[in-house]
Chain A
Amino acid sequence: MPSDIDIVYLETDILIVGGGAAGCMAAITVKDMAPGCQVLIMEKAQLERSGCLAAGINAINAYLNPGETPESFLDYVKKEAHGIIQDELVLSMAKELNEMTRLLEHWGLPIYKDKDGNYLARGKRSIRIKGERIKPIIAAQVKKRGIPVLNRVVATNYLIQDGRVMGAMGFSVREKKFYAIRAKATICATAGAAGIYGPNNPGWGRHRTWYPPFNTGSGLAMGLRAGAEMTSFEMRFIALRVKDTLAPTGTVAQGVKVSHVNGLGEKYLEQYRGLTTAGRLKAGLIEEEAGRGPCFLDTTQLTSEEGNRLKEAYLHMCPSMVLSWANQGIEPNEAPLELTGSEPYLVGGHAMAGYWIDEQRRTTLPGLYAAGEVAGGVPKKYVTGSMAEGRIAALTALADLKNLSDWVGREQSRGFASKETNRALVTEENRNFPGMVDNELKRIFQPLNRKFSKRQGIGPEELEEALQKVMDEYAGGIKDNYKLAEAKLKVVAMRLVELEKLEEQLVAKDLHELMACHEVAERILIARILVEHLRYRKESRWPGYQERLDYPDTSARWELFVNSVYSEGANKIQIVTRSLKGELLDGGTN
Chain B
Amino acid sequence: MAVRIDFSRCDGCRQAKESACVYICPGNLFYPAENNLVKIRDIRDCWDCAACVKICPKEALELYLPVQLGGKGATITARTRGKGISWECASPSGKKEKFKIQVKN
Contacts and interface: CB of A to CB of B under 8 A. Distances in A.
Does B bind A? yes
Interface of A: 45-46, 48-51, 54-56, 105, 108-110, 130-133, 137, 152, 173, 201-209, 212-214, 244-245, 311-312, 315-316, 318-320, 322-324, 326-329, 512, 515
Interface in B87-105: 87, 89-93, 95, 97, 99, 101-105
6 contacts: A51-B26, A54-B47, A105-B105, A130-B102, A315-B99, A326-B90
A484 to B, nearest CB: 28
A323 B64 contact: yes
A320 B99 contact: no
Interface residues of B, number: 50
Interface in B8-62: 23-28, 31, 41, 43-51, 54-55
A45 B23 CA distance: 9
B65 A324 contact: yes
B26 A49 contact: yes
A205 B89 CA distance: 20
Contact of A206 (B1, B55, B64, B102): B1
B27 A214 contact: yes
Interface of B: 1-2, 23-28, 31, 41, 43-51, 54-55, 63-76, 85, 87, 89-93, 95, 97, 99, 101-105
A209 B48 CA distance: 9
A201 B101 contact: no
Given A324-B65, A326-B76, A329-B91, 19 more contacts: A46-B26, A49-B26, A54-B26, A55-B47, A132-B103, A207-B1, A207-B45, A212-B49, A245-B65, A315-B87, A316-B103, A320-B48, A323-B75, A326-B90, A326-B92, A326-B97, A327-B70, A329-B92, A329-B95
Contacts of A152: 28
A521 B88 CA distance: 40
Contacts of A316: 101, 103
B60 to A, nearest CB: 17
Contacts of B99: 311-312, 315
A372 to B, nearest CB: 16
Contacts of B49: 49, 54-55, 212
Contacts of B26: 45-46, 49-51, 54, 212, 214
A203 B92 CA distance: 23
A201 B71 CA distance: 14
Contacts of B27: 45, 207, 213-214
B37 to A, nearest CB: 18
A110 B105 contact: yes
A327 B46 contact: no
B1 A204 contact: yes
Given A130-B101, A315-B99, A327 B47 contact: no
Given A49-B24, A108-B104, A137-B104, A207 B46 contact: yes
Given A110-B103, A137-B104, A320-B48, A512 B28 contact: yes
Dominant secondary structure at the B interface: loop
Contact of A173 (B28, B63, B74): B28
B97 A208 contact: no
A203 B69 contact: no
A417 B36 CA distance: 57
Given A55-B50, A110-B102, A204 B45 contact: no
A326 B104 contact: no
A327 B48 contact: no
Which of B48, B64, B92: most chain A CB closer than 10 A? B48
Nearest to A132: B103
A78 to B, nearest CB: 33
Contacts of B46: 207
B40 to A, nearest CB: 12
A55 B51 contact: yes
A145 B26 CA distance: 23
Nearest to B23: A46
A315 B28 contact: no
Contacts of A109: 104-105
Contact of B101 (A203, A206, A315): A315
A329 B93 CA distance: 8
A292 B102 CA distance: 43
A154 to B, nearest CB: 10
B26 to A, nearest CB: 4
Contacts of B51: 49, 54-55
Nearest to A140: B104
B74 A130 contact: no
B83 to A, nearest CB: 8
A48 B45 contact: no
Which of B51, B64, B72: most chain A CB closer than 10 A? B51
B1 A208 contact: yes
Contact of A328 (B43, B70, B87, B95): B70
Contact of B24 (A46, A105, A319): A46
Nearest to A135: B51
Contacts of B47: 54-55, 207-209, 212-214
A244 B90 CA distance: 20
B86 to A, nearest CB: 11
B63 A326 contact: no
Contact of A130 (B24, B43, B97, B103): B103
B63 A312 contact: no
Nearest to B102: A110
Contacts of A133: 85, 103-104
Contacts of A244: 69-70
B87 A319 contact: yes
Which of B49, B85, B105: most chain A CB closer than 10 A? B49
